[in-house]
A and B are shown apart, each in its own frame.
Chain A
Amino acid sequence: MALLRRSETVIAGILLLAMVLIGTINPAFWQLDNLFSLMRSNVIIGIMAMGVLLVLISGGIDVSFPAFAVAAMYLTIKGMLALGYNGVVLPLLAATLMGLAFGAVNGFFVYKFRMIPLIVTLGTSAMVRGFLLGIVGTSMININKMPTALIDFARTDVVSVTKADSTTYGLTAMVLIYLGLALAMHLVLRYTMIGRSAYALGGDPEAARRAGFDLRKTIFFIYCVAGALAGFAGLLHSGMIWLANPRDFVGLELDVIAAVVLGGASIFGGRGSVLGTMLGVFMLVMVKNSLIIMRVDTTWQLVVVGLIVIAATALSAWRDRRRAA
């Protein structure tokens, strides 16, 4: 019974229902290559969603992570080209650290000046994007210039299948990275003091402070991790699409926030889980992909995502108020 009442179960149920529905309308949905490509599309949004989950749990919001992701990605690849370096681990580390440093700026303003996170992250987002496009450059780095090691790394498959017409497709190994990061986030949120302090901060900041949590540490941790995950995901993304575009990720914040709220995280803070978020991400990616499969005009995508945000937040608000009553 307890299992039934968990919001993850509800989301999983809705997800299954939606899959059956989409599969009935277009049987191509169940083909293995479509499922593999769906999982592939989960990776980048999913990794970013882990950071946004943390921010939402703490009662904040972050709209700057797409800017951080694109800046970390573009600067790292520019750096690799300038140095003639071709590798995987160090660049990923550099992008992650860059994201972390950007996130620290968010944390500083949110903590030090007690400013609404939305306004702070709007500001940092504009700064980072403006800096990137205004000073670093606006030109794309195409496949012919992209570092080969990064591309080779990102095209690794876990399993690959050969079709009848001898073309091959596979499940990208990047899914494993996503799952690993999700597991790590789950463990941090569940079993570490810093993870619990994020919930406490989102539940009631004053109560959290009086219970002895060091809110400065918590806030810095939250925004640094969100930034770091974004930086990491940004560089991984460019490896996966063989392209570094300094104008990438525009408007992505809404997709990711939609996915996290869809996954049952409370818009008032204090609630949310990694499993729910992963389900939410899958649902969002599936709906967006299925719009294409079902031949819905792509111009409707924004409307659909917007409606999902409204519906999911309305449900979340309704659930939390009922709980509070």
Chain B
Amino acid sequence: MKAQMNIRSLVNRDNNIVQLLVMTVLIFAVMTALSPDKFLRYYNFESITYIFPELGLLSIAMMIAMLTGGIDLSVVGVANLSGILAGVLFHKMAGAAGIADTGILTVLLGGVIALGTGLVAGTVNGLLITRLGITPILATLGTGQVFTGLAIVLTGGPAIVGFPTAWAFLGNGKILGLATPFVLFAAIAALIAFVLSRTALGINLMLIGTNPKAALFAGLKRERMVLYSYMLTGVLASVAGIILSGRTNAAKSDYGTSYLLQAVLIAVLGGTNPAGGRGTVLGITIAVAALMLLSSGFQILRFSNHLIDFIWGAFLLLVIAINAYKNRTR
């Protein structure tokens, strides 16, 4: 009986992955058919590997928050604040040689500050949710506003332009012919996949999300696990912020505001259950790839950004409807 259940859940999960793959191939085929000369260029795919990681990391962060039935609406704020704090540091430390030649030690310090920002922000979110009992939506809505607000206070509005070369390497360099951010993403995604499926933390999170009451009675340390999950979410968001600021060589309080909707869309599309208990890194990765292909296709077809936002919104509602339909027939 139990083995049968296991097999069934495995097939189900793989079904989801297969469906995602089919969808990705379909998108690829349609975009190729619509604009073969522009879409199929090497440059197009290369640029996707540079933009893909930011969104991918934010989506994985969103998925981790959703595992326990929560959500993190502050990810974009955390990402921007991390980049800005590092940028402020570089501008303060920059000597006569200019920002581009900042020493490696300073760059490392900037990295520590950026990641520390994510860790602190995630801890604040986690404590508000577990200790004060605020619902994740409102807690992260509030903190997201505070983080964005602090970013505005720090910069006064305009972007901080100019980052060290070593920092920019993280956003637009190449390792063995592959985009650095892409390599970073692959490493982090593999690590998170391992944490979620093979460590106590990941399994606890899945169990808590599946049935909070049962998890409580089973003696799982719910508060601590949820706190850890939001800390992890915060750090992932700050890595996205590092890559974003490295790639664009700038940091601003309102960069990537449309990423929030896209991260939620990708999380749901990638098979995450927003009510908790289900979500995989593989699903997210394929969903991001599908969405990036779609997005670059739209850009080649000269759709306006507003129109693309419209499509993302419609896509999200469509995915919700399809998921509900699938769950009903099962």
Contact = CB atoms under 8 A, between A and B. Distances in A.
15 contacts: A61-B137, A113-B324, A120-B317, A122-B261, A122-B316, A123-B317, A130-B308, A130-B309, A261-B138, A297-B153, A299-B152, A302-B146, A304-B149, A306-B147, A314-B132
A109 B275 CA distance: 15
Contacts of B135: 267-268, 313, 317
Nearest to A112: B324
Interface residues of B, number: 48
A261 to B, nearest CB: 7
Interface size class of A (residues with CB under 8 A): 35 or more
Given A122-B261, A123-B317, A309-B138, A302 B149 contact: yes
Contacts of A149: none
A30 interface: no
Contacts of B128: 310, 314
B310 A267 contact: no
Interface of A: 61, 109, 112-116, 118-120, 122-135, 138, 254, 257-258, 261, 267-268, 297, 299-310, 313-314, 317-318, 321
Interface in B283-330: 303-314, 316-317, 320-321, 323-324
Contacts of B304: 133-134
A313 B264 contact: no
A132 B147 CA distance: 29
A313 B139 contact: yes
B134 A310 contact: yes
Contacts of A309: 138, 141-142, 145
Contacts of A261: 138
B260 to A, nearest CB: 8
B51 to A, nearest CB: 19
A134 B153 contact: no
A116 to B, nearest CB: 5
Contact of B146 (A127, A128, A132, A306): A306
Given A310-B143, A318-B133, A302 B313 contact: no
A66 to B, nearest CB: 14
Contact of B148 (A114, A302, A308, A321): A302
Given A130-B308, A254-B142, A321-B133, 14 more contacts: A118-B137, A122-B264, A123-B316, A129-B309, A130-B313, A133-B304, A267-B135, A303-B146, A303-B149, A306-B146, A307-B142, A310-B139, A310-B142, A313-B135
A135 B303 CA distance: 11
A306 B317 contact: no
A126 B261 contact: yes
B307 A135 contact: yes
Contacts of B317: 109, 120, 123-124, 127
A71 to B, nearest CB: 11
Contacts of A123: 261, 265, 313-314, 316-317, 320
Contacts of B139: 310, 313
A120 B139 CA distance: 19
Nearest to A255: B145
Contacts of A305: 145, 149
A126 B309 contact: yes
B274 interface: yes
Contact of A126 (B71, B310, B324): B310
A171 B135 CA distance: 39
A318 B128 CA distance: 11
Nearest to B69: A116
